[in-house]
């Protein structure tokens, strides 16, 4: 099978994991790197053996023979770069959140639709090994009909050290973490009918909110609570794990510290541990997140080859909508119907 050729747009923190994530897969090669600061593109290119570097995106698109672009620049530039690539007929892989507003994300999706190119969100949380396993267990029916779900991503991890720009965002945790967590809500529970969200800022040195609590009434009747925080000093630091508790008519499932999954029914509790696959390029503090990039991109590669992929632009737009309806709820104090 011919290798798909791509260019990486943006050579910041996440490119150091997305590129080797692609390189774990057969049938794909990174041939060019763009960054507005050329030396940064050069550093990443030499680390991963990428031939050509650019500080001008238009020149890259003019010179290179590509099948797709993988965009992981600052969020406010996603739409511009996606449009430039789509104008050249290239498929687009774009990091979450797709754009800095619901309107911009809708435009990004429609630009790709109109140019007839495929768009995928590089959304990795739903591909975490323990969360996939939880979904598989739910689908066996062992806990019966699920009626209540709690999804929790709370920590005091100093996330701004590696991603300092996050401290300057007017909208922080729902856009950055909620893009993942509300996508996990959709992955495990289906679509929401309504959302009520409360937010707070505990860290005085950041611009946006660092705590959010969302309560959703799901279309299938599940009551779903999703909590996110970067201000929570817990007995045992949880980053980067997402904890879940699902309650069903015949039992419950807990995903806990150390990737331990416990399934309880009236016959007792069964335990197993589903740890992420380790790669030598991942940052151990982010192991769970970085490892899931491989499975995310494997699924996207299937989509790029014309098959089915989960996180298409159209699908991810539903997550983006949930994010911005959460903000609307937090700003108005109202329950927002979707």
Question: Of the candidates 317, 294, 334, 327, which has an alpha carbon nearest to the alpha carbon of residue 120?
Answer: 317
- Residue closest to ligand 89V when measured from CB atoms: 176
Interface with ligand 89V (CB under 6 A), residue from 163, 200, 220, 273: 163
Instruction: Put residue 10 in one of left, alpha, beta given phi > 0 → left and psi -120 to 50 → alpha.
Output: left
CA-CA distance, 319 to 326, in Å (whole number)?
11
Q: How many residues at the interface with ligand 89V, by CB under 6 A? A: 5
Residues 129-158 that bind ligand 89V (CB under 6 A): none
**Complex with ligand 89V: residue 207 or 271, whichever CB lies closer:** 207
For residue 293, give every residue at least 6 positions away whose Cβ sits within 8 Å of its Cβ, in sequence order, or none: 17, 18, 21, 122, 124, 127
Question: Of the candidates 66, 60, 72, 85, which has an alpha carbon nearest to the alpha carbon of residue 19?
Answer: 72
**Complex with ligand 89V: residue 181 or 188, whichever CB lies closer:** 181
For residue 98, give every residue at least 6 positions away whose Cβ sits within 8 Å of its Cβ, in sequence order, or none: 78, 104, 105, 108, 109, 121, 313, 316, 317, 320
Instruction: Report in angstroms how near the CB of residue 67 gets to ligand 89V at its nearest.
Output: 25
CA-CA distance, 172 to 212, in Å (whole number)?
10
Q: Is 210 in the site for ligand 89V (CB under 6 A)?
A: no
Instruction: Report in angstroms how near the CB of residue 26 gets to ligand 89V at its nearest.
Output: 26
Q: Is 164 in the site for ligand 89V (CB under 6 A)?
A: no
**Complex with ligand 89V: residue 270 or 283, whichever CB lies closer:** 283
**Complex with ligand 89V: residue 159 or 218, whichever CB lies closer:** 159
Angstrom CA distances, 326 to 6, 7, 214, stand at 34, 34, 7
Interface with ligand 89V (CB under 6 A), residue from 105, 159, 246, 322: 159
Q: Is 176 in the site for ligand 89V (CB under 6 A)?
A: yes
Q: Is 177 in the site for ligand 89V (CB under 6 A)?
A: yes
Which tokens in the block code for residue 183? 């996508």
**Complex with ligand 89V: residue 176 or 209, whichever CB lies closer:** 176
Q: Is 64 in the site for ligand 89V (CB under 6 A)?
A: no
CA-CA distance, 183 to 189, in Å (whole number)?
10
Q: Which residues of 116-132 are buried (b: 16+ CB within 10 A; e: fewer)?
A: ebbbbbbbbbbbbbbbe
**Complex with ligand 89V: residue 146 or 177, whichever CB lies closer:** 177
Residues 272-291 that bind ligand 89V (CB under 6 A): 289
Residues that bind ligand 89V (CB under 6 A): 159, 163, 176-177, 289
């Amino acid at each position: 099978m011919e290798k798909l050729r791509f260019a990486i747009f943006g050579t910041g923190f996440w490119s150091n994991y997305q590129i080797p994530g692609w390189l774990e897969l057969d049938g794909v090669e990174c041939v060019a790197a763009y960054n507005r600061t050329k030396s940064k593109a050069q550093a990443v290119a030499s680390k991963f053996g990428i031939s050509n570097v650019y500080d001008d995106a238009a020149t890259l698109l003019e010179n290179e023979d590509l099948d797709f672009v993988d965009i992981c620049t600052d969020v406010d530039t996603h739409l511009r770069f996606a449009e430039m690539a789509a104008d050249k007929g290239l498929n687009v892989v774009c990091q979450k959140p797709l754009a800095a507003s619901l309107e911009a994300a809708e435009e990004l999706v429609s630009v790709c639709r109109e140019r007839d190119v495929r768009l995928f969100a590089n959304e990795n949380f739903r591909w975490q090994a323990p969360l996939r396993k939880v979904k598989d267990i739910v689908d066996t029916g062992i806990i019966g009909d699920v009626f209540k779900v709690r999804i929790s991503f709370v920590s005091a991890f100093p996330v701004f050290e590696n991603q300092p720009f996050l401290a300057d965002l007017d909208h922080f945790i729902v856009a950055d973490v909620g893009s993942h967590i509300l996508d996990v809500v959709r992955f495990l529970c289906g679509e929401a009918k309504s959302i009520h969200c409360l937010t707070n800022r505990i860290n005085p040195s950041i611009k946006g909110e660092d705590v959010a609590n969302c309560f959703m009434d799901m279309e299938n009747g599940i009551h779903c609570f999703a909590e996110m925080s970067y201000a929570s000093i817990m007995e045992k630091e949880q980053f980067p794990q997402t904890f879940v508790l699902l309650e069903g008519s015949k039992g419950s499932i807990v995903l806990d510290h150390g990737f331990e999954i416990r399934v309880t029914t009236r016959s007792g509790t069964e335990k197993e541990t589903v740890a992420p696959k380790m790669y030598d390029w991942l940052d151990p503090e982010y192991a769970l997140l970085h490892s899931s990039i491989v499975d995310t991109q494997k699924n996207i590669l299937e989509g790029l080859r014309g098959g089915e992929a989960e996180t298409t632009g159209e699908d991810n737009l539903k997550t983006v909508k949930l994010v911005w309806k959460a903000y609307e709820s937090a700003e108005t104090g109202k329950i927002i119907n979707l």
